Chain A
């Protein structure tokens, strides 16, 4: 075997061996990893703290593609329907700013390009309900003000 061929064989073998741990890591990851339950963010009373934990930033931009459908006047503050559409997002969080624990819901939507989230939330009083979306590394926000007929929670 020539020296050049031998060195090439050694280098290819080393490259193959080096790729094994990486391949193992990729193969061992589930197809759709779930977001660990963000217990601190869900219990926090501070919106900035929540944003930093979930998105590592509080700087937001406006996004016309982020739609919030929620009633501006809620007769029953304990059951307020909403629908969020955030296509091709990586993470979506819904925050009711006046609630003692503002984070209502958070989800990873990397494997869910439709990005539609339907739900019902509870408000303690009139509140701004905001949706934060992480898309391609940027954080976007859209908000609606909701008045309630009586105190909920």
Chain B
């Protein structure tokens, strides 16, 4: 299975939970993979909001996310990730338009 990125904006409190499901380890759904996600960057309208630096303790095919309290309809939320083998992925969603699951390009 190729690497893939699912991005979902979930209304939570006064804002949105930005939840990203990353599939970076083909076939290794139960651990023991040689590579792991090292960095996940969340941006709003092109400006970085938060960058997570991860180690081997992050799960395979992780779910990662942040909460954004001050996004408005039309704001573009994007996520980019890279793993220890150099695999990359990204996805982008627009608040109020396609805020359900968005499949990004690897």
Residues in chain A within 8 A of chain B (CB atoms): 31-32, 34-35, 37-38, 42-43, 76-81, 96, 99-109, 111-112, 114, 116-123, 152-153
Contacts of A100 in B (CB 8 A): 56
Which residues from 44 to 97 on chain B have a C-beta closer than 8 Å to any C-beta of chain A? 47-60, 62-69
**A119 engages B63 (CB within 8 Å):** yes
- Can you name the residue of chain B whose Cβ is closest to the Cβ of A110? B50
The complex places the Cα of A105 from the Cα of B59 at a distance, in Å, of: 11
B contact face: mostly helix, strand, loop, or mixed:
strand
Interface: B31 (CB within 8 A) = yes
**A78 engages B50 (CB within 8 Å):** no
A contact face: mostly helix, strand, loop, or mixed:
loop
- Can you name the residue of chain B whose Cβ is closest to the Cβ of A103? B55
The complex places the Cα of A134 from the Cα of B48 at a distance, in Å, of: 20
The one of A76, A107, A116 that contacts B53, using a Cβ cutoff of 8 Å: A107
**A35 engages B59 (CB within 8 Å):** no
- Can you name the residue of chain A whose Cβ is closest to the Cβ of B55? A42
The complex places the Cα of A81 from the Cα of B17 at a distance, in Å, of: 14
Known contacts A78-B59, A114-B67, A114-B69: does B52 contact A119 (CB below 8 Å)? yes
**A104 engages B57 (CB within 8 Å):** yes
The complex places the Cα of A109 from the Cα of B53 at a distance, in Å, of: 12
Residues in chain B within 8 A of chain A (CB atoms): 15, 17, 19, 30-32, 38-39, 41, 47-60, 62-69
**A32 engages B48 (CB within 8 Å):** yes
**A107 engages B58 (CB within 8 Å):** no
Which residue of B38, B57, B62, B67 has the most chain A CB atoms within 10 A of its CB atom? B57
- Can you name the residue of chain B whose Cβ is closest to the Cβ of A153? B31
The one of A31, A77, A101, A106 that contacts B56, using a Cβ cutoff of 8 Å: A101
**B52 engages A105 (CB within 8 Å):** yes
Contacts of A120 in B (CB 8 A): 58-59, 62-64
**B31 engages A111 (CB within 8 Å):** no
